[in-house]
Homo-oligomer: A and B are copies of this chain.
Amino acid sequence: MKSFNYYNPVRVLFGDKQKYIADILKADGHSKVLLVYGKNSIKKSGLYDEIRKILIDANIKFIEHGGVSSNPTLSHAREGVLKIKDATAVLAVGGGSVIDESKAIAAAAASECDVWELYDGKKPTGALDLYVILTISATGSEMNSGTVLTNEETKEKLSFNSPLVYPKVSIINPALTLTLPKEYLVYSAVDIITHVAEVYFTAEEHPKIQNRFCENIIKSVIKTTDELLKNPDNINARGEFALCATWALNNLTSLGVGEYSFPNHMIEHSLSAIYNVPHGAGLAVVLPAWLKWFYKNTKNPQVKRFAKKIFNEKDAKEGINAFEKWLQKIGAPTTLKELGIDRNDIGKITENIVKVAPRWGLENIYKTNVVNEILNLA
C-alpha cells in the first residue's frame, strides 16, 4: 500500500430527490443560478419543465445556458461565463459533459480568468458553488474534481483537477436515466469500465482489496448493462450501474495504489477532439487495442488476473478476446473503421497524441512508434 490523500466532500443524494434542489440552493444562500444543460434530451423527458417549475415556485432566478454538446467546447463554456453576471451558483442538469462545462464556468467566473487558462495549467483561485442533477451515469464527474473540455480551434481536449470544483451536492436519480438511448448506455458502460481499467492495469501497486474493488465494479457494469439492454426499465440495475459510475472515478479505486495513468483516455481524447466521436465509443475502440499492446509489451500479470476474474479465462489473450466480444455483443464499436476513421489518418492522430502526451505525464512511453502500434491494433 502506497500512501495517499483522500478528500471528497460531495454530498450525494441518491434517488428521486431532484424535488429538493430549490431547498438545497436556498439553504446555501443562493437566489440566482446559471442553469446549464445539453441539447434536447431534458426537454423531451420533461425534466427541464420540472426543474424550471421547482425553481420558479421557490422564487429562485435562473439564467439559462443550454446547448452543451457531448464533447463540451471552450467557446460554449466562454459564453456561459459571460452569462453568469450576478448568479452565485451553477446548476448543472445533465451528464458528464454538462457537469464538466459547468465546472469550467464555475471556476473561470470566480477566478476571473479565461476558461482555457485553467485547462492550460493555471490554478483556479475560486469557484462558484456547483450543484448537479445527473441524467447520465458515466463519467463520474458528479463526485470528482476533474473536468474535460475541447478547444475546437486547436483540436485539443484537455482536463484539470481542483478541489474547488467538487460539486456541493449531486442528485443521482437512476430513474432519470430511463430515457437514455441504448447506444449511450453502452458508451457509458465502456467509459466506466475504462476508468476502472486505467487504475487496475497501470498502477504501481495492486493491493488485493483494490483489485477486488475494481473487479466488483467491472463485474457489476457488465451484469447491469446486459440486464438493461434486455430490460431498460430495470430500475435496480439502473441504480447499481449509477453507483458503479460514481465509484469508478471518485478516487476510491486508487487509494493506496501509488502512481497510475490514463493512456486510454489520452488516446481517446485525441480521437474525439479530431473526429468528435462519443467518448465511450472512442474508448471501446481504444481499450482492447491498448490492452493487446500492453500485454504483449509488459506481460503485466494484471491482464491475466482480469481474464480470470472477469471472464473466467485462464489465458490473458483469451480474456482480452472475451472482453472485445462482449463489447461487440452490446453493440459498441471496436475498430477505428466503425468510428468512420480512415486507417490513413493514423499518422495525423498519432501526431496529436504525441503532442499532448507530456500533459498526461506519458511522453516517455507513448512515443510515435508505440501510439502507431496501438492505433494499428484498433
On A, residues with C-beta under 8 Å from B are 1-17, 174, 207-209, 212-213, 216-217, 219-220, 223, 235-236, 239-240, 242-244, 252, 255-256
CA distance A4 to B212 in the complex (A): 24
Judging by beta carbons under 8 Å apart, are B11 and A6 in contact?
yes
Judging by beta carbons under 8 Å apart, are A13 and B17 in contact?
no
Set of chain B residues within 8 Å of A236, measured between Cβ atoms: 1, 207
Set of chain B residues within 8 Å of A243, measured between Cβ atoms: 1, 207, 209, 255-256
Set of chain B residues within 8 Å of A223, measured between Cβ atoms: 208
Judging by beta carbons under 8 Å apart, are B256 and A239 in contact?
yes
Partner of A12 from B5, B10, B212, B235 at Cβ < 8 Å:
B5
Set of chain B residues within 8 Å of A5, measured between Cβ atoms: 11-14
User: Would you mind naming 19 contact pairs between A and B with Cβ atoms under 8 Å apart?
Assistant: A1-B236, A2-B15, A3-B14, A4-B12, A5-B12, A6-B11, A7-B9, A14-B255, A14-B256, A207-B243, A208-B220, A208-B223, A208-B240, A209-B220, A209-B240, A209-B243, A212-B220, A243-B255, A243-B256
Rounded to whole Å, the gap between the CB of A111 and the closest CB of chain B is 21
CA distance A6 to B174 in the complex (A): 15
Q: A1-B174, A213-B216 are in contact. Are A207 and B239 (CB under 8 A)?
A: yes
Task: Identify the 6 closest CB pairs spanning chains A and B, nearest first.
Answer: A3-B15, A1-B239, A9-B9, A212-B216, A6-B12, A7-B11
Set of chain B residues within 8 Å of A14, measured between Cβ atoms: 1, 3-6, 255-256
Contacts A5-B11, A208-B223, A252-B252 known; list 8 others, CB within 8 Å. Answer: A1-B14, A1-B242, A3-B14, A14-B255, A212-B212, A213-B216, A243-B255, A243-B256
CA distance A242 to B63 in the complex (A): 47
Set of chain B residues within 8 Å of A235, measured between Cβ atoms: 1
CA distance A242 to B6 in the complex (A): 14
CA distance A243 to B211 in the complex (A): 13
Set of chain B residues within 8 Å of A174, measured between Cβ atoms: 1
CA distance A217 to B216 in the complex (A): 12
CA distance A14 to B2 in the complex (A): 8
Rounded to whole Å, the gap between the CB of A207 and the closest CB of chain B is 5
Report which residue of A3, A11, A17 has the largest number of chain B beta carbons within 10 angstroms of its beta carbon.
Answer: A3
By beta carbon, the residue of chain B nearest A17 is B3
CA distance A209 to B239 in the complex (A): 10
Judging by beta carbons under 8 Å apart, are A217 and B209 in contact?
yes
Judging by beta carbons under 8 Å apart, are A244 and B1 in contact?
no
Report which residue of A2, A16, A209 has the largest number of chain B beta carbons within 10 angstroms of its beta carbon.
Answer: A209
Set of chain B residues within 8 Å of A17, measured between Cβ atoms: 3
Judging by beta carbons under 8 Å apart, are A240 and B1 in contact?
yes
CA distance A8 to B6 in the complex (A): 11
By beta carbon, the residue of chain B nearest A205 is B236
CA distance A255 to B14 in the complex (A): 9
Rounded to whole Å, the gap between the CB of A234 and the closest CB of chain B is 11
By beta carbon, the residue of chain B nearest A15 is B3
Set of chain B residues within 8 Å of A15, measured between Cβ atoms: 2-4
Rounded to whole Å, the gap between the CB of A7 and the closest CB of chain B is 4
CA distance A9 to B11 in the complex (A): 9
CA distance A261 to B10 in the complex (A): 25
By beta carbon, the residue of chain B nearest A16 is B3
CA distance A3 to B4 in the complex (A): 30
Set of chain B residues within 8 Å of A13, measured between Cβ atoms: 3, 5
Set of chain B residues within 8 Å of A8, measured between Cβ atoms: 8-9
CA distance A208 to B243 in the complex (A): 11
